[in-house]
Chains A and B, each alone.
Chain A
Amino acid sequence: MNIPKTIALLASLLAISTQIHADAVGKDVYSKVCVTCHATGLAGSPRFGQAADWAPRVAGGMAGLYQSALNGTPKGMPAKGGHITLADADVKAAVDYMVAAAKLPKSEPEARKEEPKKAEAKKEEVKKPEAKVAVIAPVVPPSEAATALATTASAADANSFNRLLKPANKRNLPPPEDGIHDPANDGTHALQPPLTAFGSLPKSLAGNRVNWVEAIAQKKINPRYDRNDPKAEPIVMDLNIVREVKGSMPDVVYPHKQHTEWLDCSNCHPAIFIPQKGANQISMAAILLGEKCGVCHGKVAFPVSECRNCHSKKKDMAKVAIPAEAGK
């Protein structure tokens, strides 16, 4: 009869110590798992630190929120944020952390039950912005601190210099840190980190930050054109199509050369483009919706933010001779 009691005692002790560490754990779980969606409101999730997103949900009570976080919702919240191995308590701690960060006015029924503890949590929240580096750095190993800082930046560090631009240390991350590979999977650690491969390749400013056209032109890489035969040569066609653009943007030069280095005619003709100059209606709106050039650009080939790569031909009226960028 004593053993169950002891277990119960231990369990309650454990529960108490969990409470004490809950804030730290909550933050940790949030910044490793939940941040993927909740930092920016991906798929309609309530955004971290946005009171308006959280208020209506918190009004329904914390119990409901715990349930949603643990079991998922039909509207896109995956059970435990997709990390089925997380302990229930850790997920709840993350919910507490997220709700606390929303800094809702003082009248929620549930959250107020443990006054003193919550008040302290509040204080810490308030203190964080200015003292963040000093407070966090000694406690957490540097790499983790960096992650936590950057991932919560949108909420905690309202006046950080770059709010949306990806900082240099967030580019080309190794698989275990990239947010889509599972660090708990052994194979993840066997995969090649992109920077190891990109070191010797010509750089660009967006996408993989590799200039893939130059990489082939400079013979830094020679991807196979045939699955089995490393010597097969691509059938390259050098035909530029100039598309005049209404308004002030430079005209678009569509180069067949760079495309046929990589692609087969059948990748574009006739499904995406009718092979006839001017026969296709192309607009930026369509491209941004993933049609036309946007089938590849903005997903695998260089992204749409690189306006100049496509809009490379100055208007005739400008009467300035510029080297035809795209014809090289």
Chain B
Amino acid sequence: MKRLVSPLLAGCLLAGLFLQPVALRAEYGDVVINRQAEKNGMRPVVFPHWFHRIRFRCKVCHAELGFKMRAGSNPITMTDIIEGRFCGACHNNDIAWSPENCDLCHSGKPGLPTGVFGGHETSGPGRW
């Protein structure tokens, strides 16, 4: 019986996979970060994975800089960024443009929840 249950469950989940919201037209892997931003009067932050992975391996952010691979689990504040942590490790006017370009990061539609967008197929945030 047990053997049967797992493929069945997988089958159900797989069926769900093709019914994901197609209306979300965002680029695959875009992460919206909106823990603090909107509460503090800024648009949510949109982080594009595709853009950054052309320039950096995952390891740079997710091992070296300590970004946890779980949407919404990194307590990022503007103070951190200006002092060179998280996004600020690169967005420091040396490796990439400085934090004063607010609207390049704070570019999300108001009201969006934190999470990965772009037709992701596994329910998140990741668990382990």
A151 interfacial by beta-carbon distance below 8 Å: yes
Chain B residue at minimal CB-CB distance from A151: B23
Contact yes or no, A170 B25, CB < 8 A: yes
Contact yes or no, A298 B57, CB < 8 A: no
| Distance of A97 from chain B, by nearest CB (Å) | 16
B40 interfacial by beta-carbon distance below 8 Å: no
- B69 contact set on A, CB distance < 8 A: 267, 295-296
- A210 contact set on B, CB distance < 8 A: 50
Chain B residue at minimal CB-CB distance from A272: B128
For the complex, would chain A's binding face be called helix, strand, loop or mixed by DSSP majority?
loop
Q: How many angstroms from the CA of A214 to the CA of B3 in the assembled complex?
A: 36
- B7 contact set on A, CB distance < 8 A: 247, 284
Contact yes or no, A35 B23, CB < 8 A: yes
A275 interfacial by beta-carbon distance below 8 Å: no
Contact yes or no, B95 A285, CB < 8 A: no
Q: Which of B60, B111, B120 contacts A299 (CB 8 A)?
A: B120
- A2 contact set on B, CB distance < 8 A: none
A226 interfacial by beta-carbon distance below 8 Å: yes
Given contacts A262-B59, A300-B29, contact A212 B121 (CB under 8 A): no
- B116 contact set on A, CB distance < 8 A: 299-300
| Distance of A291 from chain B, by nearest CB (Å) | 5
Chain A residue at minimal CB-CB distance from B113: A43
Q: Count of B residues near A, CB < 8 Å?
A: 69
- B119 contact set on A, CB distance < 8 A: 166, 303
A89 interfacial by beta-carbon distance below 8 Å: no
Contact yes or no, B101 A187, CB < 8 A: yes
Contact yes or no, B22 A164, CB < 8 A: yes
Type the 1/0 row for B93-110, where 1 means its CB is closer than 8 Å to any CB of A: 001000001111111111
Chain A residue at minimal CB-CB distance from B3: A246
A84 interfacial by beta-carbon distance below 8 Å: yes
Contact yes or no, B56 A224, CB < 8 A: yes
B1 interfacial by beta-carbon distance below 8 Å: no
Contact yes or no, B107 A290, CB < 8 A: no
Chain A residue at minimal CB-CB distance from B123: A290
Q: How many angstroms from the CA of A295 to the CA of B121 in the assembled complex?
A: 11
A160 interfacial by beta-carbon distance below 8 Å: no
Chain B residue at minimal CB-CB distance from A78: B111
- B9 contact set on A, CB distance < 8 A: 285
Q: Which of B19, B46, B59, B127 contacts A180 (CB 8 A)?
A: B46
Q: How many angstroms from the CA of A292 to the CA of B69 in the assembled complex?
A: 12
A17 interfacial by beta-carbon distance below 8 Å: no
Type the 1/0 row for B1-13, where 1 means its CB is closer than 8 Å to any CB of A: 0010011011001
Contact yes or no, A266 B55, CB < 8 A: no
Q: How many angstroms from the CA of A186 to the CA of B63 in the assembled complex?
A: 33
Contact yes or no, B90 A227, CB < 8 A: yes
| Distance of B52 from chain A, by nearest CB (Å) | 8
Q: How many angstroms from the CA of A247 to the CA of B4 in the assembled complex?
A: 10
Contact yes or no, A291 B26, CB < 8 A: no
B78 interfacial by beta-carbon distance below 8 Å: no
Q: How many angstroms from the CA of A175 to the CA of B103 in the assembled complex?
A: 13
Interface hub of A186, A264, A292 (most chain B Cβ within 10 A):
A264
B126 interfacial by beta-carbon distance below 8 Å: yes
| Distance of A258 from chain B, by nearest CB (Å) | 12
- B85 contact set on A, CB distance < 8 A: none
Q: Which of A42, A294, A304, A305 contacts B21 (CB 8 A)?
A: A42
| Distance of B25 from chain A, by nearest CB (Å) | 5
Contact yes or no, B59 A263, CB < 8 A: yes
Q: How many angstroms from the CA of A283 to the CA of B10 in the assembled complex?
A: 8
Q: Which of B57-72 contact A (CB under 8 A)?
A: 57-60, 62-65, 69
Query: What are 22 of the A-B contact pairs (CB < 8 Å)?
Result: A39-B21, A83-B109, A151-B23, A165-B22, A180-B112, A182-B108, A187-B104, A187-B105, A190-B104, A227-B89, A234-B59, A262-B58, A267-B58, A267-B69, A285-B9, A288-B122, A291-B126, A295-B126, A298-B122, A300-B29, A303-B119, A303-B120
Shortest 4 CB-CB contacts between residues of A and residues of B: A82-B111, A187-B103, A298-B122, A78-B111
